[in-house]
Amino acid sequence: MEDVIQIKADPRFIRQVKSLGGEPLKECMQCGACSVVCRLSPDENPFPRKEMLWASWGMKDRLIGDPDLWLCHQCGDCSSTCPRGVQPASVLSALRHLNYLEYAYPRFLARWLSKPEYLPVVVVIPALIILLILWMAGTLSVPDGPVDYSRLFPHTLLNSTFSSLVVLVLVAYWRGFRRFIRDIRKKQRVNIKNQKEIRFLYQLKEILLHTQFRKCQTNRYRSLAHILVLSGFLLLLLVTMVAIVNVLFFDYPMNLWHPAKIAGNLGGLALVTGTMMMIWYRLFRRDTIGGSTYSDWSFLAFLLLLAVSGILTEWARFGNWSAAYVIYFIHMVLVWIVIIYAPYTKLGHVIFRFAVLLLSKTQSKG
């Protein structure tokens, strides 16, 4: 007698997938065209065919912690090939979003970022915390004279609060990420300690340069937008660290031709360009990459506003604008928003993908 396989269907999970962009899910006829055409799908246990089947049956236990979800770049090759217009790319995007919600810690922050009704809370809480810090420092009023941001937000106070915020976010992120690693290791049956250093460096190169993404045919140039956003964000993060060190040991603010200032401007330009490209693709290539969730749009909007406000903050200081301190305050709020909510956006996606690439036993078809 054959073993009986029990399927734990979750109707609520099906509704969640459909509400996040997987509406045509039930139209899938399991022809397998999506897995065949995908150049990123591994030969062993290829995706997204099995994910489409599991999602249609509401098999949440299979899909939460499914490593293959993070190998997909949502390039649209599968969606453009699907004979019934099911858009598997949208379904996998929805499944990744539900994984964010599952592994987020604390989970309420991820829920806030995923629903538009929480937008005022997402913005107001960081703004109120910054206002409280300024009030306690006695610098809440707008200073007179030439623009000097340190008179509004003293650099020692800025550095200490920003550093504390980053530490808290990393601790929170690690709590959820540790559960993710546990599930990935269990489903892949691979021990991360057995991975060689050369594999680490190879996969780091893949994350930074998106070499696998460029194997895609449909929307392959989206890889450039992703590279610009990631490199711009990392460059700005590095410049922020340099600025903190500069405040402690060297003269500050830095002049316009300081290497760190030049790097920061390049990072801001890359971030603006990359986010604008992503927005264009999401608006005008929906037929292949599928729909976008609210959290995708809010993430892009916050990144774009962060980069633009940073550029305006610099111009306002050098131009001695009357609205400089208002612009600076808005920029600081956006910095806090991006840092606080980064683990629950596609910036967290980068770390999840990197972990899966390190732990994955299979290779793509190439």
Helices (H) and strands (E) in the chain, counts: 16, 0
The pLDDT of residue 199: 65
Q: Smallest Cα–Cα separation from 18: which of 7, 9, 27? A: 27
Residue 363: predicted pLDDT: 47
pLDDT at 124 over 90: yes
Confidence grade of residue 190 (pLDDT, cut at 50, 70, 90): very low
Whole-prediction pTM: 0.85
What is the spatial distance between Cα 274 and Cα 290, in angstroms, rounded to a whole number?
Answer: 19
Residue 188 — pLDDT band, cuts 50, 70, 90? low
The predicted-structure confidence for 191-238, as pLDDT tens digits, reads as follows: 444 444 456 776 777 777 777 787 787 777 788 888 999 999 989 988
From 40-54, 106-120, 263-277, 287-301, the region with the lowest mean pLDDT: 287-301
Q: Average pLDDT, stretch 95-101?
A: 89
CB-count exposure of residue 104 (10 Å: 0-12, 13-18, 19+): buried
pLDDT for 192: 44
Region 129-152 average pLDDT: 85
Report the CATH architecture of 107-359.
Up-down Bundle (1.20)
Long-range CB pairs of 282-286, under 8 A, 24+ apart, other chains included? 285/76, 285/219
Share of the chain above pLDDT 90, in %: 21
- Give the pLDDT confidence score for residue 250 in this predicted structure: 61
Asked if 93 and 293 count as a contact pair (C-beta separation under 8 A), the reply is yes
Sequence-separated (6 or more) residues with CB below 8 Å from residue 287: 79, 80
Span 154-178, pLDDT tens digits: 877 877 888 888 888 888 888 888 8
Q: Which residue has the higher pLDDT, 6 or 90?
A: 90
Q: Which of 14-28, 54-68, 217-231 has the highest mean pLDDT?
A: 54-68
Question: CB–CB of 94/22 below 8 Å?
Answer: yes
The pLDDT of residue 299 is 86
Joined tokens for residue 37: 């055409």
DSSP letters of 68-122? GGGT----SHHHHH-TT---HHHHHHHHHHHHHHHH-SSHHHHHHHH-GGGHHHH
pLDDT of 137 above 90: no
- Transcribe 245-260 into DSSP letters: HHHHHS-SSPPTTSHH
**Helices in 189-258 by DSSP H: which ranges?**
197-209, 222-249
CB 45 within 8 A of CB 68: yes
Question: Amino acid identity of 259?
Answer: P
DSSP assignments along 277-341, one per residue: HHHHHHHH-HHHH----HHHHHHHHHHHHHHHHHHHHHHHHHHT-TTHHHHHHHHHHHHHHHHHH
Q: Which of 233, 255, 222, 216 is nearest to 351 (CA)?
A: 233
Q: Rounded mean pLDDT of the chain?
A: 83
Average the pLDDT over each of 84-98, 251-265, 324-338 and give the range with the smallest value.
251-265
User: From residue 313, how far is each of 12, 23, 323 by CA, in Å?
Assistant: 46, 43, 10
At 122 the pLDDT is: 92
Residue of 71, 68, 65, 69 whose CA lies nearest to 22: 69
Domain definitions of the chain by residue range: 11-103, 107-359
What pLDDT is attached to residue 249? 59
State mean pLDDT over 68-92: 86
